[in-house]
Amino acid sequence: MKLERRQDWAISDVFITKELDRRAPKETDSLQEKLALQELAGRMADHPAEVLPRFVDLAMEMTGGVSAGLSLYEPDPAPGVFRWRYLRGRLAPFEHATTPRNSSPCGVTLDCNRPVLSSHPERVYDWISDAGIVVPEVLLVPLYLGGKEPLGTLWIVSDKERHFDSGHARVMTELAWFVGIALRMLDSERQLKAALEQQERLTSEMSHRVKNLFALTAGIVRVSEKAAKTPAEMSKMVSGRLDALAEADALVRRSFANKAQAEMVDLAELVAKIMRPHAPPDTRSHFVVEGPPILLGQRATNGLALVLHELATNAAKHGALKSQEGVVALSWRAEGEQLVLCWLERGGPKIARPPESSGFGTRLSQSTIISQFEGELGYGWNPDGLVVSMKIPVVALSK
């Protein structure tokens, strides 16, 4: 039966947390508490994805609630919302519903950073009453990752008033603390695994890049030898081109520096540095570059430098830059929320057919554009030359 609402109800009328201290706990079941912790620990070790839903089940079982669930905090965009997950009992049909961060009992619970008791919150929260939900009493417990980062709240609903007591609050707080620590450990394990995988990629990239650098250096020496008239002139040419190659290579190295110290780089500047080692000393005719100013963050700079360097190296070894008449046209434009880039080669060796398999450079480019930037990458193996199209979300460029 829906409770009659009054216009003069205030927030303080529905939060009765002081009642928890006055309500003596029922008989403590220490064995049940111990078994609950052991079960959660076991699931954490064997099936970590089951920890949160089992946590909700145990909360209902140990408190005698008619419904329970988690309101997981999503901070972006600020001030954020709570998303209902792992709902049990009468409110299960509201799975994945969202509620406002600053207008909900869950928000009050995080602000108080302690268990909160509320009676008929639908009297002051329109979104509860509008959904036809009647909550005689609800116990809410804050849930943090490792006691620091807010994850959300556990809430348990009773179908009658004066149901929850101080014992319920204590037990749920202890379980919530344990779950928060367990989830922090799981998060740390994921971060460590990601770091190890990144280190493996770095090793593979470095091996691949060293091979390319030797091949490219040999090409620089050959080109300079043909253009130079004296040993001194050749030495100057080779030194200048190797300096430019080192400058471009520095851009594609992964960096673990503080992101706050990173500077924005213009895309045109990045392209010029990447292409400079491949440009003949007396002309820029090998390259046609066109596009509006685009600023890149450190992560985007490293990623795009890596991809462009791979394309330029491949063009020097097999494509347009292998021929004195070859030309590479690189253009980019903003298209809605996407940056569209096109790499077009002409004047190099004819392409008889697409390669039968992808090399490391191609796989690396795919990983960068598709996985890192969540963009799109396409190759066109035309007889006249390679065409590569890329689409990158604009939001990814500033990172």
90-115, pLDDT tens digit by residue?
A: 999 999 999 999 999 999 999 999 99
Kindly state whether residues 28 and 151 are assigned to the same domain: yes
Could you identify the residue written with the tokens 């008889």? 352
- Note down the domain range covering 160: 11-189
Whether residue 223 lies inside any domain: the answer is no
> pLDDT by residue (tens digit) across 193-221?
777 777 777 677 667 666 766 765 676 67
Nearest Cα to Cα of residue 363 among 285, 301, 279, 307: 307
CB atoms within 10 A of CB 332: 20
Chain-centroid distance, C-alpha 252: 21
Kindly state whether residues 166 and 235 are assigned to the same domain: no
The answer to whether 66 and 92 are in contact (CB under 8 A) is no
Whether residue 201 lies inside any domain: the answer is no
pLDDT of residue 260: 41
Continuous H helices in the chain: 11-14, 18-22, 30-46, 51-63, 105-112, 126-130, 166-227, 231-252, 267-275, 298-317, 360-366
Kindly state whether residues 241 and 321 are assigned to the same domain: yes
3-state helix, strand, coil in the chain (%, to 5): 50, 20, 30
Whether residue 180 lies inside any domain: the answer is yes
Last residue of a domain, one of 171, 189, 207: 189
pLDDT of residue 360: 60
Instruction: Kindly give the parts of the chain with pLDDT less than 70.
Output: 1-8, 28, 45, 146-147, 183, 186-187, 202, 205-206, 208-210, 212-213, 215-217, 219-220, 222-224, 226-228, 236-263, 279-285, 360-361
Tally of domains within the chain: 2
pLDDT of residue 233: 73
pLDDT of residue 249: 57
pLDDT of residue 237: 60
pTM of the entire predicted model: 0.50
pLDDT of residue 262: 46
Partnered with residue 377 across adjacent β-strands are 390
Last residue of a domain, one of 131, 162, 189: 189
111: CB partners within 8 A, 6+ apart: none
Kindly state whether residues 170 and 279 are assigned to the same domain: no
pLDDT of residue 216: 59
In whole angstroms, give the CA distance from residue 294 to residue 286: 23
